[in-house]
Structures are given as C-alpha cells and as structure tokens.
C-alpha cells in the first residue's frame, strides 16, 4: 500500500496565543494534569488595560529547569543550555510550558507572529500489525527488530520482536513494572536499553538483548520520551525542554529549548534521534516535528492525522511512537492502543 497524505497549511498547526491561565488540559484519564496553574480574576475595571497590553506584546511563562540525581553518581556538573543557537549555563527555561487558551494541547509555535512554513508531506509505504493492547510510549529499531515500551499502571512493559512478525509474536517481553509505576519512553545505546517512568523518577537500565534489568538511575521531574544521539541521550518531559544525559550514568549534561520561530514548542513526547536531527511526537496531536539539536529550532513538521482511521474509541489512543528504520529513509509510526503501525516517508 502506498499513498501520499495531503499537505496542510502551516496555519493549521498554530493554536491561539499562550497564556498562564487555567490548568492545562489533563493528559488523560490515566495521566492527570502536570501543571496546577490557576488563573487570576481580572475585574471589569482593568479589562480594557489588559486587552491593550496583550495586543501590544505577549509573554511566555517561565519553567525552571531541574537537574537530575543518579544513584551512586551525583549530578554536580554544570549543565549547558542550547536556546536559539546560543550556549548558556543551566537556569530558567526560556520557553513556556503553558497551553493555548483554545483548549488545545497543541504547543506548536504558539503566538500571534507568523511562523515559518515547515510543513512536509507523508508517504505511506505499507501498513503493519500492532498489538492493540500496547499503550505505546517508545519505539526503536535495531537489527531488524522493533523494540517497544508501553505505559499505564500494571501494563508497562518492554518488548522486542522481528518487524515483520505478528503483532504479538514477541521474541522477549518483560514483566510489567510494579503497579504503582507508569512506564514511558525508551532507547538503546550500545548493549544497554534505558526505560523511563512517568512520575516515579526511575530509569531502568536493561540488557538490550535479554531485557533483563541491570541497574537503575534516578532523575528529577517527569519522564516522557528518550532517544540516543551520538554519545548522549536526549530526554523529553512534556515541556519544550529536552535534557541531554550521559548514556552510562544518566546524569544530566545539558538542555535544548525547542522553538518554532520565536515561540516554544510544548508537549514534546516520544523521540527518535536520526540523521543528526531529533524527531518528536507532540502529545495529543497528530504531529511529528523535526528539531535541529544545534539550535533547538523546528525545521520541519508533518501531520499524520489520516493514519489509523477510524481511530479507536479510547480518548487516549493518540499518535505516539516513531522509529527510523536503519539503512532506509523510512520510519515506523503508530499510536497508543492502535491495531496498526505504518512505515512512512517524511518528505
């Protein structure tokens, strides 16, 4: 099966202006709101002044950058931060973690200024089966096998199977994490597989072949997506900040603040590091963005909304999961609880 999905204008990707108002939408019934911001009440006497001010300028909320804590290794080194192409020491994140006031969880280049047209085309090469019980949090390809990590309480596992096998013909699959832990993204570096947890602050270190646990590391904040970029790991936490980490100790070594034009791109989720770029699912959207790690700029994005139609009825069954097929120009993509995966070209 091969067909091209239609292009959509960049305006479709830009939600309304950001504000530090009500709590952002709940991530799902499984994942409650991460940020408990509450809106202040603006009285009628000041409404005109507020409207005049917001018409003249806009401001982004500030999110403090957290440092990690690794078992047996203290995270006491100074971290660097890539923001708009400059390197600075660790400090407050210049990007916002707020959501738009339209109720959308889309964090792509929010704001009134015109954004660069970075929209690409999606070519579907073929459709593959996928375990519809898998609440997909991470995908990665290695030696012809598809590795997948899943989430939800009591069903968070890691598995590996040949790409062209049946959707549940696993070569190896771990036992679920303890019921109180919610699994997240994963990546392979050398013969090590790292598996994140959402709010537990634990990264599981596993043998990449057997998936047996070989160690653990601790980190601050939330874990969402993870990928390997050269000699470092890249981790997302649901904001516009990506944290660089040491592949051996999981100690944080730097940050990348991601933006489209002048605006931060929030809700970065599952990651894939390929061809010198970082690909990221944007949570609760049908979008994948490509990030230049040297500057943090989004230089391309794709709309995959035509895939897996009709969607499963579960509201959590959103696009999530991207893995480059080694030696090719294609990616494997899927979603949480989807019965299908797709091999696609992102053009």
- In which residue are the tokens 């660069």 written? 116
Q: Is the pTM of this model over 0.75?
A: no
Confidence at 119, pLDDT banded by 50, 70, 90:
confident
Q: How many CB atoms lie within 10 A of CB 48?
A: 9
How much of the chain, in percent, has pLDDT values that exceed 90?
A: 64
Of 49-58, 130-139, 269-278, 332-341, the poorest mean pLDDT is in: 49-58
CATH architecture of 21-347: Beta Barrel (2.40)
Instruction: With a cut of 80, say whether residue 211 has pLDDT above it.
Output: yes
Q: What is the pLDDT of residue 148?
A: 99
**Euclidean distance between CA atoms 51 and 100, whole angstroms:** 16
DSSP 164: T
- Please give the order of strands across the beta sheet that includes 145-150: 136-142, 145-150, 158-162, 172-173
Give φ, ψ of 227 to 5 degrees: -150, 165
Indicate the average pLDDT of the chain. Answer: 77
Q: What is the pLDDT of residue 107?
A: 56
With beta carbons less than 8 A apart as the criterion, state whether 239 and 93 touch: yes
* Position with higher pLDDT, 56 vs 92: 56
In the predicted model, what is the mean pLDDT of residues 119-131?
Answer: 95
Residue range 215-246, pLDDT digits in tens: 999 999 999 999 999 999 999 999 999 999 99
Confidence at 4, pLDDT banded by 50, 70, 90:
low
Instruction: With a cut of 90, say whether residue 291 has pLDDT above it.
Output: yes
Instruction: With a cut of 50, say whether residue 102 has pLDDT above it.
Output: no
- Identify the three-state secondary structure at position 8: coil
Measured CA to CA in angstroms, residue 14 lies from 5, 39, 104, 346 at distances of 20, 22, 10, 20
Give φ, ψ of 52 to 5 degrees: -65, -40
- Identify the three-state secondary structure at position 118: coil
- Identify the three-state secondary structure at position 258: coil
**Closest Cα partner for 161 from 153, 152, 169?**
169
Q: What is the pLDDT of residue 118?
A: 73
**Euclidean distance between CA atoms 245 and 168, whole angstroms:** 32
In the predicted model, what is the mean pLDDT of residues 90-104?
Answer: 30
Instruction: With a cut of 80, say whether residue 6 has pLDDT above it.
Output: no
Residue range 136-166, pLDDT digits in tens: 999 999 999 999 999 999 999 999 999 999 9
Return the domain boundaries, the chain. 21-347
Q: Could you give the dihedral angle defined by the CA atoms of residues 133, 150, 265 and 327, in that order, rounded to the nearest 10 degrees?
A: -100
């Amino acid at each position: 099966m091969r067909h091209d999905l239609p292009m959509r204008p960049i305006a479709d990707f830009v939600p309304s202006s950001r504000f530090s108002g009500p709590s952002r939408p709940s991530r799902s019934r499984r994942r409650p709101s991460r940020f408990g911001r509450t809106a202040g009440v603006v009285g009628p006497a000041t409404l005109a002044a507020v409207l005049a001010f917001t018409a003249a300028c806009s401001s982004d909320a500030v999110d403090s950058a957290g440092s990690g804590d690794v078992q047996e290794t203290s995270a006491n080194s100074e971290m660097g931060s890539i923001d708009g192409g400059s390197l600075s020491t660790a400090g407050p994140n210049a990007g916002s973690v707020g959501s738009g006031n339209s109720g959308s969880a889309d964090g792509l280049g929010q704001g009134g200024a015109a954004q660069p047209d970075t929209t690409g085309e999606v070519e579907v090469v073929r459709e593959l089966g996928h375990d519809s019980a898998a609440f997909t949090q991470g995908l990665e390809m290695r030696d012809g096998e598809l590795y997948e990590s899943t989430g939800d309480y009591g069903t968070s596992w890691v598995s590996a199977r040949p790409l062209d096998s049946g959707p549940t013909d696993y070569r190896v699959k771990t036992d679920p994490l303890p019921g109180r832990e919610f699994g997240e993204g994963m990546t392979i570096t050398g013969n090590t597989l790292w598996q994140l947890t959402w709010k537990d602050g634990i990264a599981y270190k596993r043998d990449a072949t057997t998936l047996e646990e070989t160690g653990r590391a601790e980190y601050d904040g939330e874990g969402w997506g993870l990928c390997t970029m050269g000699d470092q790991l890249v981790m997302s936490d649901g904001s516009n900040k990506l944290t660089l980490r040491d592949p051996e100790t999981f100690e944080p070594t730097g940050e990348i603040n991601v933006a489209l034009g002048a605006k931060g791109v929030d809700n970065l989720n599952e990651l894939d590091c390929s061809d010198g770029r970082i690909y990221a699912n944007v949570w609760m959207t049908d979008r994948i963005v490509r990030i230049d790690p040297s500057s943090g700029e989004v230089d391309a994005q794709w709309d995959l909304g035509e895939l897996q139609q009709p969607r499963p009825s579960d509201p959590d069954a959103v696009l999530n999961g991207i893995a480059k097929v080694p030696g090719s120009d294609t990616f494997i993509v899927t979603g949480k609880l989807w019965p299908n995966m797709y091999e696609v070209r992102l053009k």
